[in-house]
Amino acid sequence: MADPISRQGQSYAKPEVLDFLADFYAPSDQALRRAERAPETHGLPPIHIGCHEGAFIAWLIRMHKVQQAVEIGTLAGYSAIWIARAMISPGKLYTLEINPKHAEVARHNLKDAGLEERVEVVVGDALESLKMLETSAPFDCVFIDADKIRYDRYAEWAVSHLRPGGLLIADNAFYFGRLLEESEEAKAMRRFHEIASRFFDAVLVPTPDGLVIGSKRA
């Protein structure tokens, strides 16, 4: 049950509580820890999902028996490791990254995790990369965690290239608290929500920045 404080938006997910619970619900190994430390070791931006989000996404992947998936936004490969490990075999994850340096770090981390055969890191502009993947559709899952200005276009692609019942997952649903602003990025994020609610049986999980989960309607 919730209390009046939590219903107003206050979170009890303190860092020390999350760290304690991670050992039970989101344990990390060497490969995950290396990808998680990429901001410090390789100078990448510290913007990857947290371990609890990773474990939750992996659980969703297993429950939906995902075999072929697309991830938009690779960074150091942290979320790709969670996703690829949860896919049924033989599985294939295409993860899209615009920055060649980030892609190289991700490839190293994926190799360390033993996933280099299961995951293909595609370097380039995401919209152009998505066009190249259309011949491999339909996909079982699309995970969006990239530039917010094009979230609506990524959602449109997911609508067209996911199988019926396919899984849409999107991070940063709250757009860092700026969702209701009048910037172009905020408008694109609001259009994303319109598309997600129209074409998917979707819910919003109130993670620190919101996680949308949807199943494509037939």
Which contacts (CB < 8 Å, 24+ apart) does range 202-206 have? Answer: 202/168, 204/173, 205/56
To the nearest 10°, report the CA torsion of 151, 135, 85, 15. Answer: 0
Can you tell me the distance from the alpha carbon of 183 to that of 155, in angstroms, rounded to the nearest whole number? 19
Render pLDDT for 182-191 as a digit per residue (tens, 0 to 9). 999 999 999 9
pLDDT of residue 153 exceeding 60 = yes
Between 157 and 2, the higher pLDDT residue: 157
**Tokens standing for residue 140:** 């079982």
pLDDT-derived band at 5, boundaries 50, 70, 90: low
For residue 121, what are the β-bridge partners?
95
Domain boundaries, the chain: 13-216
For the domain spanning 13-216, the CATH number is 3.40.50.150
Helices (H), 64-212: 78-86, 100-112, 126-133, 151-161, 184-199
Q: What's the average model confidence in pLDDT over 81-104?
A: 97
Give the global pTM.
0.94
Residue 31 contacts by C-beta under 8 Å, 6 or more apart in sequence? 81, 109, 112, 113, 114
Q: What's the average model confidence in pLDDT over 196-203?
A: 98
Question: Amino acid identity of 7?
Answer: R
Which letter does DSSP use for residue 84 in this model?
Answer: H
Average pLDDT, the chain: 95
pLDDT of residue 133 exceeding 60 = yes
Render pLDDT for 163-198 as a digit per residue (tens, 0 to 9). 999 999 999 999 999 999 999 999 999 999 999 999
Return the H-helix or E-strand segment holding 51. Answer: helix 51-63
> How confident is the model at residue 11, as a pLDDT?
78
